[in-house]
Chains A and B, each alone.
Chain A
Amino acid sequence: MIKNISNLGDAALYCDFGNEVNKSINLQVIKYFKTIKEKKFEGINNLTPSYNKLIISYDLKKTNFKEVKNYVENINAEDSIDINSKKLEIPVCCHENFSMDIKRLEEILKLSREKILENFLNKEYFCYMTGFIAGMPFLGDLDENMRAQRLETPRVKVPKGSVALTEQFANIYTFESPGGWNILGNTPLDVFDSSKEDKPNLINPGDAVVFKEITLDQYKNYNEQ
């Protein structure tokens, strides 16, 4: 349930679902997001679900805080809305060409490379949200012994396709972009495709994701089949 609604500036609602990050709170956020999105309230132009917040921005020419707040307060998102989640397998190559932060992870986690991969691969992760850059999924939760902080100095350029870890989450860089997560491998799969306007994201909030290891040869041949 929404614990509190306040304003974020003069053109957005800030719906707070609490401070914890867990699947059940996030599913509440996703339910509200899907319900409001389907109802197409005049003036609402964007919804941004995240771990435990939902930001609803609106066109100040068409509506205002009071109207949107009143509308959201009277929504019943408990109805059995179909989250429509999928289970996806993502190929990842963890060859030294790609696993740029493996040494750092070995030191921080005090685990061998083999152990890190064993802990990470073939497990089901939940997609909490997508964004920051187009299509980037935030996946969780990593095992307790796999949690490392961000790099102190973020990289100016993280290669496209990088699979990276921070705290209890994994993500995939859908574009070359700046970033401070610990890079473990790279996927040859296009996780974001802007030519598919109705479904540009391969992974969506609520989906389950499993990383499967591929070799460098399989990686190189992946897009040539």
Chain B
Amino acid sequence: MSNNYLDIIRPGINTTFQDKGRDHLYHIGIPFSGAMDNRNYLIANKLVNNNLDSAVIEFAYQGPHIKYSGEKINFAVTGDVIFLIKKKDTEIEGKCYESYQIENGDEINIISTNKSVYGYLALGGEFDLKFQWNSCSINTKANIGSNDGKKLDVGQRINLKKINSNKDIKKTNYINTKIENIRVIKGTNFDYFSEEGKKIFYEKEFTVSKLSDRMGMRLEGPKIDNIVNTNIKSEGLIKGVIQVPADGNPIIMLSDHGTIGGYPKIGVVASVDYDRLVQMSPGSKIKFKEINLSDAETLFKLYEMETQNLLLQI
């Protein structure tokens, strides 16, 4: 029995453990998984003096309400999140990108994300979790990862096997920037679409549908007309691929996507914009902007340098 643990009073809507994800498994049908918004995942770990690849609790929209029991420990929340910290007689509103210390009996109540989708809760220590293929990331579709591959549930107890001795309080001034245009690289079936369809793709606005989850983001808007074939022979997918099925509404593959698919690929989201893409909540407007491969590579390098600088400053 561990002396340090969390009890889940309310699990939230889609609350899972996530880490850096798992690779080398696409060929057997297992996707990457891992934290959807990688930058916010890394910052959360850094704020509580964890290794950067430690597991965190990821939540979507409404987060968990938990009660902590055990020795003093630090925690931090990242994203654009509203949450409360309850200690004995007081309840305060917490701020993202700051670490706090909690002790036996304290509660963290993550009310909701604010005009975004995912938030992260990191605790300064290590959860006691099952690893599969070097990752504890939960994939609820294939029941892979920690917690038997299932979302966190009410009444569950989660043990910590280790608590960080470094309990320095940390803070950073990071602000999640909203993005107006999602940059995309032309897909391998771009020429399956009519001239009008291609124009619509790059010039019109699409709306993020409610039917979006860790597997994919469905978009609604003007239909994109296919003039060649609405099916292709099934082939591999990667995250960020934008497929257009026969109904003309694009679907963007996200971290838990099916590993192969048979719809034509009109484009692929540039890696630099992935973290911000996944944060677009239902109802948000998306516009796509074409970018070439070499610009996409350069922009990702800059984004990665920025992430490393942010982490160094914490």
User: Closest B-chain residue to A177, C-beta based?
Assistant: B141
Query: In the docked arrangement, what's the CA distance between A67 and B207, Å?
Result: 37
The residues in A between 176 and 222 inclusive whose CB is less than 8 angstroms from any CB of B are: 177, 192, 194, 197, 200-201, 204-205
Using CB atoms, name the residue of chain A closest to B272: A10
Minimum CB–CB distance from A54 to chain B (whole Å) comes to: 8
- The CA of A205 and the CA of B27, in the complex, are separated in Å by 9
Tell me which of B48-56, B121-129, B194-202, B229-237 binds A: B229-237
Size of the chain B interface, CB-CB below 8 angstroms: 41
User: CB distance A194 to B29 under 8 Å?
Assistant: no
| Residues A134 and B234 in contact, CB atoms below 8 Å apart | no
Give the interface centre of A12, A45, A134 by most chain B CB atoms within 10 Å: A134
List of B residues within 8 angstroms of A53 by Cβ = 233, 235-236
Collect the chain B residues with CB atoms within 8 Å of residue A205's CB.
27
Inter-chain CA distance A19–B18, complex, in Å, is: 38
Residues on the A chain within 8 Å of B185, using CB: 7, 9-10
Extra contacts, 17 of them, besides A8-B188, A131-B28 (Cβ < 8 A), are A7-B293, A8-B268, A9-B240, A10-B268, A10-B270, A11-B271, A12-B268, A33-B27, A37-B27, A46-B238, A48-B237, A49-B27, A61-B304, A130-B29, A192-B142, A201-B28, A205-B27
Contact surface of A with B, Cβ cutoff 8 Å: 6-12, 14, 19, 21, 33, 37, 45-55, 57, 60-61, 64-65, 129-136, 138, 174-175, 177, 192, 194, 197, 200-201, 204-205
24 CB < 8 A contacts A-B: A8-B188, A9-B238, A10-B185, A10-B293, A19-B233, A21-B233, A37-B27, A47-B27, A48-B237, A51-B233, A52-B235, A55-B237, A55-B238, A57-B26, A60-B297, A129-B27, A131-B26, A131-B236, A131-B259, A132-B261, A133-B142, A134-B144, A138-B234, A194-B149
